[in-house]
Amino acid sequence: MAKDYVVGIDIGGQTTKCGIVNRRGEVLARTVIRSDETQDVEVFVASLAEALHRIIDEAGVEGQISGIGVGAPNGNYYKGTIEYAPNLKWGGAKVIEFAKMLSARMDDTRVVLTNDANAAAVGEMTYGAARGMKNFIMITLGTGVGSGIVIDGNVLYGHDGFAGELGHTCAVRHNGRACNCGKNGCLEAYCSAIGVARTAREWLEMTDEKSLLRTLDKITSKDVYEAAKEGDALAIKIFEFTGRILGEKLADFIEFSAPEAIILFGGLAHAKEFLTEPIQKAMDANVLPLWRGKVKLVYSQLKEADAAILGASALAWEG
């Protein structure tokens, strides 16, 4: 029997998205499970395998799965491990043989795993905005800030499988915020969904400025976005601040690999009407004239509901 289908899995700090994908990039069945309801990885993998068997049966493709692609925080492409992932409750200070664990529960089906942002980059090359590009940088703006760097058509993994942790480069050198990774001042601490919510809370404490955000008990980045759409001045300034920091760092990244484009992906990228101008302005102001105006700033073209699944599934085709 031909094996013309793959599974795509995107593991996030809060939820894990899974889907069955055919060779045309169509998602035939999908599901979502919680990533944050257990601190025991064995429990999580068992729940994940149960969900996969369910959607494989739903899609009617039992015995036709050629591989499973997984995008995960701190995923090591070479080893199939998730290592010291601070945004996963069951990750923490340890190395998890995730690909082996999942394969064992999926009838020894081949599992290919990488960093979630690398998976997004492969997906964008296969199905989205980066089709035909050989040099670009993918920036994922979600619970954290991830990055996938593609040079000459190949994802940059480095000697140990972890190249491209641009979210943990320093964005604020002095008195920077503590990051979940243990460092201070990381880009992720400012330009992730969590970082935007943190900026909102800090600014509300430091100013008496009127804002719709003052009526909320627990502020999320989505709340800041909704307030900005209502014309809330403080919320708009929060996105300007976030965009400026991100743009300054993108200028550094351009000088590293001279990409054709930088592609923004993830939940926070939904706020592009408030982020694009400050990002572009800061990027242009801080990059060498050699690259000014050369590098396109674009947003993922993958269908929103399926983007993460397609990104992870592309790994299984190539693996």
Spatial separation of the C-alpha atoms in residues 111 and 113, rounded to whole Å: 6
Question: Is residue 319 scored above 60 in pLDDT?
Answer: no
Angle at 220 between CA 217 and CA 221, to 5 degrees: 150
Spatial separation of the C-alpha atoms in residues 319 and 306, rounded to whole Å: 20
The tally of domains found in the chain comes to 2
Spatial separation of the C-alpha atoms in residues 272 and 72, rounded to whole Å: 24
Spatial separation of the C-alpha atoms in residues 250 and 211, rounded to whole Å: 30
Question: Is residue 139 scored above 70 in pLDDT?
Answer: yes
pTM value is 0.87
Spatial separation of the C-alpha atoms in residues 250 and 78, rounded to whole Å: 27
Same domain, 136 and 211: yes
The SS3 assignment for 63 reads coil
Same domain, 103 and 30: yes
The SS3 assignment for 22 reads strand
User: Which residue carries 């664990």 as its tokens?
Assistant: 101
The stretch 183-190 carries a mean pLDDT of 97
- Cα–chain center distance at 233: 28
Same domain, 15 and 47: yes
Q: What domain range is 247 assigned to? A: 132-299
Cα separations in angstroms, 4 against 18, 20, 29: 17, 10, 14
Same domain, 136 and 279: yes
Same domain, 154 and 293: yes
Backbone φ/ψ region at 161: left (φ over 0), alpha (ψ -120 to 50), beta: left
Same domain, 220 and 154: yes
Question: Is residue 11 scored above 70 in pLDDT?
Answer: yes
pLDDT digits (tens, 9 = 90+) for 174-185: 999 999 888 999
**109: confidence class by pLDDT, cuts 50, 70, 90:** very high
pLDDT at 302: 83
Question: Is residue 305 scored above 80 in pLDDT?
Answer: no
**14: confidence class by pLDDT, cuts 50, 70, 90:** confident
pLDDT digits (tens, 9 = 90+) for 261-304: 999 998 899 999 999 999 999 999 999 999 999 999 999 988 77
Looking up residue 245, the CATH number of its domain turns out to be 3.30.420.40
Same domain, 176 and 280: yes
pLDDT digits (tens, 9 = 90+) for 195-206: 999 999 999 999
Mean pLDDT (the chain, rounded): 93
Same domain, 111 and 224: no
